[in-house]
């Protein structure tokens, strides 16, 4: 089947609506696994796996316990009870026997509700509520995972949901100590790539600006904000983005209010960045620390980065992010999560 045929099939499936279906833990990973799902808020509240640690929320004690048990450290999980992306992590990734077993062997997982009011003592002995801790860590999306080694050093943070192959790599990156030697993006370049289409061209859209990519906004403010799509060939997740959210006219109308540029993360395409620096797409992506495609990086009219989406994204999250930025809500509310909560309350207010 050609790429265009695959895109048409995916578009048809999106049109009738994906349902959240979790494969058996023993099933072989496929390119589409855990990528196509509705990100509407879940009707029923999520439950934590029984093997999550029953923590008193003193992270210092949790770290001591992990060290005593000869584990690699702890994972602090920040989530929401009705978050579809959290469900994808809990039921899709940690619902797999091999991923759950590997996690339990090497880490203790401490759950935090980003809207919770329970007191948390962090690794420096500071006390704050769960929601205050989430705000202090500037966690834009749920789920968010903060990995700490037994010395209390932050080894890695994952902001959002990632498919199984990427999540396994993250666990191994920390458990095997590679974080002490190299960055996560560098580590992933040596890992097995995700299953994908055989063709390597990027999926184009009418709203992408053509080269040359002169994105400098420091000398003269632009008239529109900017979004840079970092993608790559042989990227199933990129195809899901294009045949799903970017195939919806409501999303397209919002994106058309941005200046939009598409870059191949692994190509040496010449670019002048929003800060006026001459570089290439490959070097720029490396400097930004990107490790997932597609990644969307948003800039204001003056070239300041506002937000990035570097994890799996579907319709509702992408639409909310676009509205948040276009309304310039970040000027009054720098926390996207708090803005989303207030917007949800307004939607429910008759």
3-state secondary structure 74-119: EEEEEECCCCHHHHHHHHHHCCCHHHHHHHHHHEEEEEEECCCCCE
- Ordered by where they begin, the domains of the chain are 23-188 (3.40.30.10), 213-348 (3.40.30.10)
Tokens of 16: 């009738």
Q: Which of 192, 221, 331, 203 is nearest to 264 (CA)?
A: 203
Q: How far is it, in rounded angstroms, from Cα 267 to Cα 281?
A: 6
Residues 73 and 240: their CA atoms lie apart, in Å, by: 34
Question: Stretch 152-165: mean pLDDT, rounded?
Answer: 96
What share of the chain in percent tops pLDDT 90? Answer: 81
Q: Which residue has the tokens 């999926």?
A: 203
For residue 350, what pLDDT band results from cuts at 50, 70 and 90?
Answer: very low
Of 288 and 1, the structure prediction assigns the larger pLDDT to: 288
Position 189 scores a pLDDT of 86
Spatial separation of the C-alpha atoms in residues 229 and 295, rounded to whole Å: 6
pLDDT for the residue numbered 130: 98
Q: How close are the terminal C-alpha atoms of the chain, in Å?
A: 49
Q: What is the pLDDT of residue 192?
A: 56
- Which pLDDT tens digit goes with each residue over 229-248? 999 988 999 999 999 999 99
Residue 319: band (very low, low, confident or very high) from pLDDT cuts 50, 70, 90: very high
Residues whose CB falls within 8 Å of the CB of residue 339, separated by 6 or more in sequence, listed in order: 324, 329, 330, 333
The pLDDT of residue 191? 67
Mean pLDDT over each residue of the chain, to the nearest integer: 89
Residue 151, classified by CB atoms within 10 Å of its CB into exposed (0-12), middle (13-18) or buried (19+), is exposed
The stretch 116-132 carries a mean pLDDT of: 97
Between 10 and 271, the more confident residue is 271
- Residue owning tokens 């960045």: 273
Confidence category of residue 223, pLDDT binned at 50, 70, 90 = very high
Query: Residue 249 pLDDT more than 80?
Result: yes
User: At 344, is the pLDDT very low, low, confident or very high (cuts 50, 70, 90)?
Assistant: confident
pLDDT tens string 14-66: 333 333 333 333 334 444 557 888 999 999 999 999 999 999 999 999 999 99
């Amino acid at each position: 089947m050609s790429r265009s045929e695959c895109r048409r099939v995916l578009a048809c499936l999106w049109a009738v609506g994906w349902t959240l279906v979790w494969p058996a833990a023993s099933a072989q990973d496929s390119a589409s696994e855990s990528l196509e799902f509705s990100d509407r808020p879940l009707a029923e509240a999520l439950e934590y796996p029984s093997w999550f640690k029953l923590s008193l929320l003193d992270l210092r004690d949790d770290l001591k316990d992990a060290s005593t048990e000869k584990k690699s450290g702890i994972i602090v999980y920040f989530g929401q009870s009705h978050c579809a992306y959290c469900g994808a992590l809990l039921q899709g990734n940690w619902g797999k026997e091999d991923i759950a077993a590997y996690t339990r062997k090497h880490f203790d997982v401490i759950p935090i509700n980003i809207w919770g009011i329970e007191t948390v003592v962090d690794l420096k002995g500071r006390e704050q509520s769960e929601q205050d801790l989430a705000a202090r860590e500037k966690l834009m999306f749920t789920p968010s995972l903060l990995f700490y080694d037994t010395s209390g050093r932050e080894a890695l943070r994952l902001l959002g949901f990632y498919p199984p192959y990427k999540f396994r790599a993250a666990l191994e990156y920390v458990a095997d100590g590679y974080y002490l030697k190299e960055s996560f993006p560098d580590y992933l370049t040596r890992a097995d790539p995700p299953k994908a289409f055989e063709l390597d061209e990027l999926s184009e859209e009418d709203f992408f600006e053509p080269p040359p990519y002169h994105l400098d906004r420091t000398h003269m403010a632009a008239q529109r904000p900017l979004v840079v799509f970092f993608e790559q060939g042989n990227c199933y997740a990129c195809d899901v983005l294009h045949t799903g959210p970017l195939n919806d006219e409501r999303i397209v109308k919002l994106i058309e209010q941005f200046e939009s540029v598409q870059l191949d993360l692994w190509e040496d395409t010449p670019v002048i960045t929003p800060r006026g620096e001459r570089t290439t797409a490959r070097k720029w992506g490396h400097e930004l620390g990107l490790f997932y495609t597609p990644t969307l990086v948003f800039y204001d009219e003056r070239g300041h980065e506002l937000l990035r989406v570097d994890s799996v994204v579907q319709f509702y999250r992408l639409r909310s992010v676009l509205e948040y930025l276009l309304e310039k809500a970040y000027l009054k509310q720098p926390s996207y999560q708090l803005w989303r909560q207030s917007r949800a309350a307004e939607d429910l207010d008759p």
